[in-house]
Amino acid sequence: MILEDIKKFFLESKKEPKQEKKKTKIDKSLKKTIEFFQKEFDEGADLIIRQMKISCSDAAIISVDGMIDKDITNDIMKSIVNFEYKSSNSKDLYDEIKDKISAFPDQSEVFTYEDALNMALIGCALLVIDGQDSIIVFGVQGFAMRAISEPTSEKSQRGSREGFNEVLKSNMTLIRRRIANPKLKFEMMQLGSTTRTFVSICYMNDRVEPEILNEVRKRLQNCDIKSVSTSGCISPYLEEEGDLSLFSSVGLSERPDSVCGKIVEGRIAVLVDGSPTVLIVPYLFVEYFHNIDDYAMKPYFATLNRFFKFLAFFISVLLPGFYVGFSTFNPELIPSELLNKISLANGSTPFSIMAETLLIHFIYEIMRESGLRLPQNLGHAVSIVGGLVVGDAAVNAGLIGAPTIMVVALTAISTFVIPNLYEPISLLRILFIIAGGTLGIWGIMTLFSVVLLNLCSKSNFGVPFTAPISPFGLFGMRDSILRTSWKTLSKNRNRVQKMPGSNY
The predicted-structure confidence for 83-102, as pLDDT tens digits, reads as follows 777 767 778 888 888 877 65
* pLDDT on residue 268: 96
User: Where is average pLDDT lowest: 17-21, 185-189, 305-309?
Assistant: 17-21
pLDDT per residue over 386-400, tens digit each?
666 666 777 777 778
* pLDDT on residue 496: 34
**Backbone region of residue 199 per phi and psi (left: phi > 0; alpha: psi in -120 to 50; beta: other values):** beta
pLDDT at 162 over 70: yes
Residue 293 gets which letter from DSSP?
Answer: G
Task: Specify the length of the chain in residues.
Answer: 504
For 52, the 3-state DSSP assignment is strand
What Å distances lie between residue 376 and 48, 105, 180, 209, 382, CA to CA? 40, 44, 39, 44, 10
Task: Give residue 384's pLDDT band: very low, low, confident or very high (50, 70, 90).
Answer: low
User: Where is average pLDDT lowest: 175-184, 333-342, 487-496?
Assistant: 487-496
> Average per-residue pLDDT in the chain?
85
pLDDT per residue over 29-83, tens digit each?
999 999 999 998 887 888 999 998 888 788 999 999 888 888 888 888 888 888 7
- What amino acid is encoded at 474 in this protein? L
Percent of the chain with pLDDT over 70: 88
For residue 280, give every residue at least 6 positions away whose Cβ sits within 8 Å of its Cβ, in sequence order, or none.
250, 251, 252, 253, 259, 262, 267, 268, 269, 270
pLDDT per residue over 267-301, tens digit each?
999 999 999 999 999 999 999 999 888 888 899 99
pLDDT at 265 over 50: yes
CB atoms closer than 10 angstroms to residue 133: 13
pLDDT per residue over 125-144, tens digit each?
999 999 899 999 988 888 77
CB atoms closer than 10 angstroms to residue 221: 16
Task: Give residue 376's pLDDT band: very low, low, confident or very high (50, 70, 90).
Answer: low
- What amino acid is encoded at 164 in this protein? F
pLDDT per residue over 59-68, tens digit each?
999 999 888 8
For residue 171, give every residue at least 6 positions away whose Cβ sits within 8 Å of its Cβ, in sequence order, or none.
164, 165, 256, 271, 276, 278
Domain ranges of the chain: 2-139, 168-283, 299-457
What whole-number distance in Å separates Cα of residue 349 and Cα of residue 363? 17
pLDDT at 432 over 80: yes
pLDDT at 159 over 90: no
pLDDT at 156 over 70: yes
For 274, the 3-state DSSP assignment is coil
pLDDT at 494 over 70: no
* pLDDT on residue 504: 41
Average pLDDT over residues 377-406: 72
pLDDT at 434 over 80: yes
- Strand ranges (E), 207-295: 251-253, 268-272, 278-281
pLDDT at 161 over 80: yes
